[in-house]
A and B are shown apart, each in its own frame.
Chain A
């Protein structure tokens, strides 16, 4: 079961990975955007880690909500509202439960995806974070419905997110700054899809141990 402690360790692991990959994310954004995705996200996730540390609250919902609010109020750019909406919708979906089982976690992540779409209106193939997040949600739903435990389901979701991230390379961008480049956006990996792949792989690492079948 994913309880508050598990969520807390996921979010701090994600923050650590963002910090470690800050330069990579910024370099990817320099190629097809404005060279700030790593700096933006790192600013937000480090602020969120401090906010979460001071948050004695013990439900997944409050932690996810603090994460979302902190990202909205500290990231800026496109990724602030998008990641913010992702976590705020996850918080809404988590409701008042003390812990989430595999179907509830999968439902929460899908709610997060819906939040990203509601805010950014991206579709499959637009070369955005959607292209990593949506296959991850599909894989997670599928694996959970087939009766896999959350740890295994999240490892399948990680593979799907990684594949989705890689699949952004040949895409022609239709959303975000990269779309201004037209044909020149082809051949570059999307920074937002890259950070989403970190989000899913850290979920797999942080949440698998906490699963009771």
Chain B
């Protein structure tokens, strides 16, 4: 394992020291491993809390700031945060208007956020509403299992719900917007390589040079199928087709998001964006907004995911609203 680390056990805490040093506009609670907006809590504003395992950066800590999250609870690498961390985040952003938890649909994340919300309820803390994201079309037969994973759409939910909260909308309004975004978004990803969890020291799975994993999540889990490496045009089809099969995207304007998994250069992501854009044009889908870059990653995994979101007028307006976070910033 070759990594820019000192000790595998301290990767998260030492990385948070860097976040703290690089971003004076944020406040880092090192004891609980929570990244806060410097001005949290903001009276009268719904507090937005997300969190999850680390290793997906910039998600979630890189999205803390004006127009997006108020706090991010950072679990160990690929392990959801514990209830104490989520509670610290929740209390720290409670400005009296309630707190929204944005939770990716993984058993561990859902259970730890549930426990934190139960504790807030039992101790007379903030009113908490949770929205669970589950946009990964790679998960089939989801009715019989734990449902789909939350992946790329989580970034879009955090941006759009964040803008609604910034506009001082009510907790139920902000939650409704977040749910609408989740319902209108679908994702699919593939891996060219595995990733290496620092504590494990070696790649999570073996993937021969001429093979790719299709239908991966964001934790180095194996995907649904393994197929031979193919030209980008074909790999784009492997991602776009299942998404278009799952939801009707023609008619409304669509946000097309090509996301890098952490180990893929932007030059390849733009090449993929071109392929995705061509496929969408052929399918009669009108793209009105785009996002290209590594925003929800799986450590050093090479590969990408595609997320499509059907935008209604309100979502479009909220997407365009100003945002100022370490990883997304415009309009300010």
Stretch of B144-152, B178-186, B314-322 on the interface side: B144-152
Stretch of B164-172, B198-206, B284-292, B304-312 on the interface side: B198-206
- Tell me the A48-88 residues at the B interface (CB within 8 Å): 72-82
Stretch of B17-25, B36-44, B133-141, B249-257 on the interface side: B133-141
Q: Which residues of B contact A34 (CB under 8 A)?
A: 78, 197, 204, 219-221
Residue-wise interface mask of B (106-125) relative to A, using a CB-CB cutoff of 8 A (1 in contact, 0 not):
11100110110000000000
A115 to chain B, nearest CB (A): 12
> Which among B79, B84, B107 is the interface contact of A120 at CB below 8 angstroms?
B107
> Which among B108, B197, B199 is the interface contact of A80 at CB below 8 angstroms?
B108
Q: Which residues of A contact B140 (CB under 8 A)?
A: 182
The answer to whether B79 touches A81, judged by C-beta atoms less than 8 angstroms apart, is: no
Query: Given the complex of chains A and B, what is the CA–CA distance between A26 and B201 in angstroms?
Result: 11
Query: Given the complex of chains A and B, what is the CA–CA distance between A36 and B84 in angstroms?
Result: 20
Q: Which residues of A contact B138 (CB under 8 A)?
A: 180
Query: Given the complex of chains A and B, what is the CA–CA distance between A100 and B43 in angstroms?
Result: 51
The answer to whether A72 touches B79, judged by C-beta atoms less than 8 angstroms apart, is: no
Q: B80 contacts the other chain (Cβ, under 8 Å)?
A: yes
Chain A: CB-nearest residue to B145:
A179
Given A30-B204, A43-B76, also A76-B108 (CB < 8 A): yes
The number of chain A residues with a CB under 8 A from chain B is: 34
Q: B83 contacts the other chain (Cβ, under 8 Å)?
A: yes
The answer to whether A78 touches B111, judged by C-beta atoms less than 8 angstroms apart, is: yes
The answer to whether B146 touches A40, judged by C-beta atoms less than 8 angstroms apart, is: no
Query: Given the complex of chains A and B, what is the CA–CA distance between A78 and B222 in angstroms?
Result: 18
B207 to chain A, nearest CB (A): 13
The answer to whether A80 touches B82, judged by C-beta atoms less than 8 angstroms apart, is: yes
The answer to whether B79 touches A181, judged by C-beta atoms less than 8 angstroms apart, is: no
Q: Which residues of A contact B217 (CB under 8 A)?
A: 177, 180
Task: With a 10 A CB-CB cut-off, give which of A33, A72, A78 has the most chain B CB atoms.
Answer: A78
Task: With a 10 A CB-CB cut-off, give which of A43, A76, A177, A180 has the most chain B CB atoms.
Answer: A180
Query: Given the complex of chains A and B, what is the CA–CA distance between A72 and B119 in angstroms?
Result: 12
Q: Which residues of A contact B144 (CB under 8 A)?
A: 174
Q: Which residues of B contact A72 (CB under 8 A)?
A: 82-83, 115
Task: With a 10 A CB-CB cut-off, give which of B78, B84, B106, B217 has the most chain A CB atoms.
Answer: B78
Chain A: CB-nearest residue to B196:
A35
A107 to chain B, nearest CB (A): 24
Q: Which residues of A contact B114 (CB under 8 A)?
A: 81
Given A30-B204, A174-B144, A175-B146, also A73-B84 (CB < 8 A): yes
Query: Given the complex of chains A and B, what is the CA–CA distance between A36 and B115 in angstroms?
Result: 21
The answer to whether B107 touches A78, judged by C-beta atoms less than 8 angstroms apart, is: yes
Given A36-B78, A73-B83, also A181-B108 (CB < 8 A): no
**21 pairs, A vs B, C-beta closer than 8 Å:** A30-B204, A31-B222, A33-B219, A34-B78, A34-B204, A35-B78, A35-B220, A36-B77, A36-B78, A36-B197, A39-B79, A72-B115, A76-B53, A76-B82, A78-B107, A80-B108, A175-B146, A176-B146, A180-B221, A182-B140, A182-B141
B residues with CB within 8 A of A: 53, 75-84, 106-108, 111-112, 114-115, 138-141, 144-146, 149, 197, 199-200, 204-205, 217, 219-222, 224
Interface pairs A-B: 10 shortest CB-CB: A34-B219, A77-B108, A179-B145, A81-B111, A78-B108, A76-B79, A78-B107, A77-B79, A73-B84, A35-B204
